Each structure stands twice: as structure tokens, then as C-alpha cells.
Amino acid sequence: MIKRQMIVVKTYCFKLYKAKRNRKLHKVINIAGIIYNHCIALHKRYYRLFKKSLNIYKLQKHLTKLKKIGKFSYFKEVGSQAIQDITQRIDRAYKLFFRNLKHKIRTAPPSFKKIRKYKSFTLKQAGWKLLKGNIIEINKQKYKYFKSRDIEGIVKTITIKRDTLGDIYLYFVCETNENKVLARTGKSVGYDFGLKQFLTASDNEDIKAPLFFKQNANDIKKANRILSRKKKTSNHRRLAKIALARLHKKIANQRKDFQFKLANAICKKYALICIEDLNIKGMQKRWGRKISDYGFSEFIKILEYKAREIGSIVQKIDRYYPSSQICHVCGTKNPETKNLAVREWICAKCKTSHDRDRNAAINIWKVGASTFFGEI
């Protein structure tokens, strides 16, 4: 184990209690959406006239003047720091757009957003205040939130965000100095992603697939059936739609919780984790919903994030490497295993009996470890 002091950026997420006063935050998010669209309109007009991006400082100066006009005085409800954040995000998006144009990468400029689908606004140092217990003051209005844990470090920004269900969440981005204990176990492992097992390990410690969507399939069918029977534009249909969305959100939360806990456990146990560079889009075309239910791409992102945090290394091998076709004992290639129906096979040369996924995991481990450490 190695101890190292480092600046760590953490994000804490808390849900607001449901209350009538939350309408004020919904209103502010809607106004932030109007400001965003106004800025996009100005950028588009400026680009149409001069073929270049509008200067961010000119845009901010224009919005400051606009707030003093009676027609646009409601912009003040959002707060100057939140407006600055909107202009900065648009400016970054346009810089990326022009950089892509320069390198002849096909891309589209930032576009308008529907107000009801606009999700958030961000405050920095002003416009909010943490009070005792689980109370926060935003724009001189007090709100209660579900405080599941204490906030550590210096709060740099707070983002007020709503989801498709109308629930509001607080995201605190904090900076703290921590003495991180980095994992140096000396252990390495290879993982093969599969359809029967979530992860097949080179050291036989496999991870079963929980299949959260499949577990809740009957509830989803029932919710869809109820929704289809409701009259369009009616309030009952709106409520049925929310009930279905809440069910999908529950499944997403279950999957995310499982993936974070698993990634944390793997990174603490192994110093080197070898995986395939998966072609997720190709897999989804072939196996459809099951791949989405497994959430392989999300898990890889979480695994890489936890590895950076703990001090482990994720080594990806080439997606075209035939890991399931090569005997891990003698290196003989068996082209018959291209057929995915072949789950077990015997090597013609060394007569070793292979489980398809286990053999692939061992080959992934060997190639990943030899790439990182040199030949084993």
C-alpha cells in the first residue's frame, strides 16, 4: 500500500423534499432555458453574418443590459453567476464546433432546447447558503433535502437539476485534500464480458449478471398496459407516464449501484485489470435489449473512474484479438470457435479441455499483462 496526499474532486447528490415551494426552482430552471435559447439565437445570427463565434464578454455585457429592460427583468431571478455559467457552456460548445470544422470533422453547432426539457442551472459562491441540518437557502428561499451523508471539503459549485419525473436534485462539487491509500496488491486479472455471466474471470472468481430489467419485466409490462389504456392529453395518462418513468429510473439506479460496488471491489483487489475494448454498438445490434440491460459501456466508465481513484490500472486489449479461439496453454488457434454456439472445445494439439469464456478471460489476462509488464 502507498499513501499519497492529493486534491480530490467529489460530487455529492441529494434529493429535495417534495413541496409547493419547489415550483419556484422549476420556474428558475425554465427561465435559465429561455436565456440559453436567447444566447443560442444571438450566436446563430452572429455566425450567419460574420462566420465566427460571438465573443463571450460581449454576450455577457448584452445580457447585463437586457436585465435592466422591463420586458426581460425576470432574467434577474436566475442570478448573474448562473447566467455566466450558461454563457461559458455555450462558448465552450461553439469553440469545439469551430475546432471540429477546422479539422473537417462532421459536426453540428449547439441547438435550441425545449424549455420543459431544460434541466439545470449552476451557482458558484453566491445565491445559496447551507443552513443547519438538512436545510439549504437558494435565492432567499429555504428548502429541505434528504441528507444521506456529510459534505466534506470546500464546495466549489452547486447545480440544481430536475429529472424527467419532476424531482429536483442538488449536486455539490467539492474539493478536498485527502491522504489516499493507493492499491498495490500486486494481483492482476483478466475479464471476459459475456451473456451468461456478467464477467468471467481468469482466476475463476466470476460475477453473475443481475439482469435488473428482466427482474422488473412484469411490472414494466403492466405499467405500459395501463398507459396504453389512458386517453391522450388526459391527466391520468400523464400520471401513468410518470409511473412508468419512475419504474425505469428504479432499474437504472439498481444497475448503477451494482456497478459502482462491483468496480470498487475489483479495483481494491487487483492492481491490474485486463479487459477487451468492446464494440458495444455491434453487440447491441446482435443481442439487443440484453446488452443494454447489462450496461457494459457504463460499467467500463465506472471501472476506469474507480481505478484512477484507488490507484489500479485498467488495460484494454484490441477488440479484434481472437481471445476465445486461441488455446491459452499451447497457443493453437481453433477457427471452429467462431461459431458462438460452441461453448466448450478440446485443443487438437495439447488436448486441453476449454470453457469458451474462461479460456478467453485467461488469454485477455495474458495479453494485457504482457503488454503492460512485458512478457510473462
Per annotation, catalytic residue among 192, 206, 293, 304: 192
Give yes or no: 192 in active site: yes
- Taken in order 3, 8, 11, 12, the sign of the CA dihedral is positive
CB-CB contact of 32 with 78 (8 Å): yes
Report d(CA 122, CA 143) in Å as an integer.
16
304 is catalytic: no
8 Å CB contact between 65 and 71 = no
Residue 150 annotated as catalytic: no
CA 50 to chain centre: 37
Q: Active-site residue among 91, 276, 293, 304?
A: 276
Q: Which of 303, 304, 356 is nearest to 326 (CA)?
A: 356
Which amino acids are annotated catalytic?
192, 276, 357
